[in-house]
Structure 1
Amino acid sequence: MKIMICLLMGSLVVPVFGESYKPEWESLLNYEAPEWYEDAKLGFWVHWGVYSVPAFMGDHAGEWYGRWMYSKEGQSSRHNQGLAIHEHHKATYGDPSEFGYKDFIPMFKAEHFNAEEWADLCVEGGAKFFTMMGAHHDSFCLWDTKLSKWNSVNMGPKRDLVGEIEKAVRKKGLKFGVSNHTAWNYGFFQWNHINGYDAKDPAYEDLYGNPIVPEGLDKVTVRPEEQEGKGRWKWFDRSRNLIKPSERDLDRWLARTEELADMYKPDLYYFDWGMNPPEFESRRKEFAAHYYNNAVKFGQGEYGAPNVVLNYKNWKTFKPGSAVRDFERGGMDQIADMVWQTDDCVYNDHNWGYVPGVAIKPTNLIVDQLMDIISKRGVLMLSFAPKADGTFPEDQQVMMRELGAWLEVCGEAVYATRPYEVFGEVGDQWLEKDDYGRKKMTATCEDIRFTRNKENTVLYATFLDWPGEKAVIKTLAGADLSGIKSVKLLGKWRKPKWEVTEQGLEIQMPEKQPKHGMAYPIRIAFAGQVAAPSKK
């Protein structure tokens, strides 16, 4: 808690505030995640920047265009995945020695960007917070930074994109976050540095970084055996670490990271994995203390509960409990002791930035994913991909509105809820895994996810697919259900018939499904506390 002591100095009373955060784990562990965040459940996010201009993913990802455009034959991992972008760049724009990544900046104009329209889409989509891309690995800043000329106010759009959207979303009553991926800037342009393209010019070092580059790396290629099987992942990790950050890279990261926090006072600060290496540890702690202390200083919270969210991606990066852990396209298998976050994208696989003609996920899949996440005490931050001009593709707008329409009907089972004693019932198909070992989000009528209200008087059992004529909640078999007051299917006026059997709570479903056609929450209200599941 914040403690204020008044010292009498003559006729002057000077307030002296008590504890403040220090860049030490013992101090940073005095952190509690905010209730607004755990209540929110869903936030929107964007991947938007200079890479939205070429809008080409090749064999990897559109937002990694600036990395792979400089890579030559055999210089990228996983089946030479970067070569497609390199060849596309040469055919479309010219050799990287003639047309570098910096030359895309004047083409990034954001001429149709309207912050008010973006905020409206967030509200329509049911999001409770919005996270703006501050800068991706390319280090082109979308805010009015005073620390680098490579920003959207000096170049390209000639606008403070972060500042505009911050005002617009807060005006709508949403919380505001920023996303900062610049820690890996030193490594992102690795092949630019190694192959001696425009990164060798000191005039561009604030864009491309100042890494430590050992000699002879221009001869490094992928051995054939490393292109197949498990070896591809080993190479992928090594390809990130061929060069190292300099002290200037590290100091520059901290200065810009603090500036972004100071200027916009974000309620959430998201980091990608680039700050995971041990070289960043002292600066990670320094920033965390700075961010939490600022939140106290600006009245957002107090010591111990600063009321802001700091995300980290690797369990070694921050001590558990000192910040909020994030999982990229993944999550927890069970209910967690502390709120956590999944960051995911409307695109499948690796791509996050806008690429024309690439299909997005069905809204139904996003809803199923959301219910799985929140049943385990998680929050979903879902990324969209605007075009370079600042407009969202039509299919992404449709998804936002479909998601919002479902939440309009079923949001009671989502917002401000907490996990039940068990997260749900899992069907066989959900347990299947894809080629990367991740569980497939393929739900059937056997998949149920539980949430409850904070008062613990209402249980929501959400069937991720339509159960048919009869819904059976097997988790409640043998439980004391004598306190049930009512049972209702959200989205339908008429209350269904229900009975307690040896199989569990059985509910007679209506002939017609709710119009939304996605996950189906059943609201079970109790006269007292929600019944605990049987321990049999």
Structure 2
Amino acid sequence: MKLSVLSIALVVSLISVKAQTKYSADWESLQNYQAPEWYEDAKIGFWVHWGVYSVPAFKGGHAAEWYGRWMYCQRGQSSRNNQGLATHLHHNEVYGPPEEFGYKDFIPMFKAENFNADEWADLCVKGGAKFFTMMGAHHDAFCLWDTKLSKWNSVNMGPKRDLVGEMAEAARLKGLKFGVSNHTAWNYCFFEWNHINRYDAVNPAYEDLYGNPIVQASADTIRMYDGETRKIWIPRSRGAVKPSERDMNRWLDRTKELADMYKPDLYYFDWGFNPKEWESRKQQFGAYYYNNAIEAGKGTMGNPNVVINYKGWPTWRQGAAVRDFERGGMNDIADMVWQTDDCVYDDHNWGYVEGTPIKPTNMIVDQLMDIISKRGVLMLSFAPKPDGTFPEEQKTMMYELGDWLNICGEAVYSTRPYEIFGEVGELWGQKNETGHKMYTATNQDIRFTRNKENTILYATILKWPSDGKFMITSMSETDLSNLKSMRMIGAKGKIKFEQSNEGLLLSLPKQPNYKYAYPIKMVFKGQIPSVK
């Protein structure tokens, strides 16, 4: 009897130990999370917005990747002064009425005939990226992987290729970490105007593409843009559609499948599962993904060595994953690594649109330095054409960014924030006419990073001063007695400096041949001194 009791106690003990080595599907457990060192070391990754929406490539009053939403949207049904109406009118004029040519009818036109995964991975390496995140599916729920859960995928239709699988293999062969991007939680709402206005979403044959949400709306008769009168559905309040159980279960099943098939090191989620109905499924996936990484030997409980990106509370619980800011970021140094996701395009647009200008490379570099000085990571999105090639100006940006990182990368990769992130000029972070922050540096802008050993400080000047002099005001009282050397990376000549109550005045050498930001490397005999 005693042996039996001891045996039972041992089994209970072993079960208890095992339970502590795995995550459970609740926030308290999931908050036992530490982001991977490889991720915090990487600093920059590339990703893409690419899919069926790349075919019409029309942004109208909003964004090209939202074409499938706005093509079904009637006058008065979208926010921001009928932002979706331009797409609806364009679709009627170019492709015909949505009841005759639906979003599904673009799929055969998305062929990706010139897509080359090796070339994409090579561009990432040349651009200085350390990880690549592939679009798995946008809000339209057309899967770019070989899913067994829906016929609406790039293997059965369109390209007839496993685009995610090809990129996973190519990226890893180039030494890149590989991530996937999943926006499908909002699929139930993305096509709400298709459901509300009773277009092709009412056909059950298409529900795996368009979703089958619970529609809560009432019918009214209104006068249309062309003078005809037609009965359409107008929502009486926000929440005109809600996710059905099928929509939420479908999301969880596909999300798990994508993780199982390609073992991504990073899993990016857009917003879309904010409503409380999603809570248990988010927790289920978090535990599932982290535990799979542990079972695969990637990491351990507390540090599974993989990344989940989420966009703020209540999308995910703080500390249970890596917070992401769309086109934004932290104002100061964070306690935990975080991420900015941004695009080479400005405004709201992320998908390919011919002739749309991209941001200057200089702005991207300045933004990168600001982000990493505050313990962030930049995931920069590009927009390929529907055939799978990148516009030349986007490739040029990659080359320019990579050239700068080849010279100045030691001030970027594997660094950590200093005790202050830097000094900010008067133009930094001002908003443009679309409400987005502009990263415009002046000759007052400087950002700090340091090596992990805390013996080398990098002070990166974001704009070259016309007189060759730069003042670091925060270092007016810094003890520089153990300063071993000071030089500008990639520049010839010495830096002369003079410390006063106003700050540390630097007389810089001749401007180096490279463009953009200019890191000054300060090597100390011991630990980097405090700014006091």
TM-score normalised per structure 2: 0.93
Cα-to-partner distance string for 1:86-144 (whole Å, 9 max, x where unaligned): 11111111111110000000000000000000000000000000000000000000000
Q: How far 1:442 moved relative to its partner? A: 1.2
Q: How far 1:497 moved relative to its partner? A: 2.3
Q: How far 1:236 moved relative to its partner? A: 12
Cα-to-partner distance string for 1:249-288 (whole Å, 9 max, x where unaligned): 0000000000000100100000000122211111000000
2:424/2:444 contact within 8 Å kept: yes
Q: How far 1:77 moved relative to its partner? A: 1.1
Aligned to 1:124: 126
> Counterparts in 2 of 1:80-479, with a 5 A limit?
80-216=82-218, 241-435=239-433, 438-468=436-466, 469-479=468-478
Give the 3 Å change call, closer, same or farther, for CA 220–520 of structure 1 in structure 2.
farther
Aligned to 1:232: none
Q: How many residues align?
A: 511
Q: How far 1:197 moved relative to its partner? A: 0.6
d(CA) in 1 for partners of 2:270 and 2:159?
25
Equivalent residue letter for 1:208? Y
Secondary structure at the counterpart of residue 241 of structure 2: coil
d(CA) in 2 for partners of 1:115 and 1:221?
49
Secondary structure at the counterpart of residue 379 of structure 1: strand
Decide which of 37, 51, 54 is 1:35's aligned counterpart. Answer: 37
Aligned to 1:504: 503
d(CA) in 2 for partners of 1:219 and 1:481?
76
1:43/1:128 contact within 8 Å kept: yes
Cα-to-partner distance string for 1:212-233 (whole Å, 9 max, x where unaligned): 01241566999xxxxxxxxxxx
Secondary structure at the counterpart of residue 98 of structure 1: coil
d(CA) in 2 for partners of 1:237 and 1:525?
64
Give percent identity, aligned residues only.
Answer: 69
Segments of structure 1 that go 5 or more residues without pairing to the other structure are 1-6, 223-234
Q: How far 1:434 moved relative to its partner? A: 3.2
Q: How far 1:436 moved relative to its partner? A: 5.7
d(CA) in 2 for partners of 1:451 and 1:237?
52
Secondary structure at the counterpart of residue 417 of structure 1: coil
Q: How far 1:82 moved relative to its partner? A: 0.7
Aligned to 1:228: none
Secondary structure at the counterpart of residue 428 of structure 2: helix
1:135/1:179 contact within 8 Å kept: yes
Cα-to-partner distance string for 1:291-326 (whole Å, 9 max, x where unaligned): 000000111111111000001102222221111000
Q: How far 1:501 moved relative to its partner? A: 2.9
Equivalent residue letter for 1:210? N
Aligned-residue RMSD, C-alpha: 2.2
1:336/1:377 contact within 8 Å kept: yes
Q: How far 1:73 moved relative to its partner? A: 1.3
1:488/1:524 contact within 8 Å kept: yes
Secondary structure at the counterpart of residue 243 of structure 2: coil
d(CA) in 2 for partners of 1:39 and 1:482?
30
Equivalent residue letter for 1:417? T
My pick for the range that moved more, 209-218 or 462-471, is 209-218
Give the 3 Å change call, closer, same or farther, for CA 36–488 of structure 1 in structure 2.
same
My pick for the range that moved more, 488-497 or 75-84, is 488-497
Secondary structure at the counterpart of residue 269 of structure 1: strand
Q: How far 1:237 moved relative to its partner? A: 13
Decide which of 515, 518, 528 is 1:517's aligned counterpart. Answer: 515
Equivalent residue letter for 1:483? N
Equivalent residue letter for 2:175? G
Secondary structure at the counterpart of residue 44 of structure 1: strand
Secondary structure at the counterpart of residue 166 of structure 2: helix
Matched, 1:487 2:486: yes
Runs ≥4 residues deviating over 4 A: 217-222, 235-239, 435-438
d(CA) in 1 for partners of 2:474 and 2:490?
23
My pick for the range that moved more, 287-296 or 427-436, is 427-436
1:153/1:159 contact within 8 Å kept: yes
Give the 3 Å change call, closer, same or farther, for CA 433–317 of structure 1 in structure 2.
same
Aligned to 1:21: 23
Q: How far 1:392 moved relative to its partner? A: 0.3
TM-score normalised per structure 1: 0.92
Aligned to 2:75: 73
Cα-to-partner distance string for 1:149-182 (whole Å, 9 max, x where unaligned): 0000000000000000000000011100000000
Secondary structure at the counterpart of residue 485 of structure 1: strand
Secondary structure at the counterpart of residue 242 of structure 2: coil
d(CA) in 2 for partners of 1:278 and 1:210?
18
1:78/1:236 contact within 8 Å kept: no
d(CA) in 1 for partners of 2:171 and 2:149?
26
Aligned to 2:227: none
Secondary structure at the counterpart of residue 272 of structure 2: helix
Matched, 1:50 2:48: no
Secondary structure at the counterpart of residue 365 of structure 2: helix
d(CA) in 1 for partners of 2:241 and 2:340?
29
d(CA) in 2 for partners of 1:172 and 1:402?
20
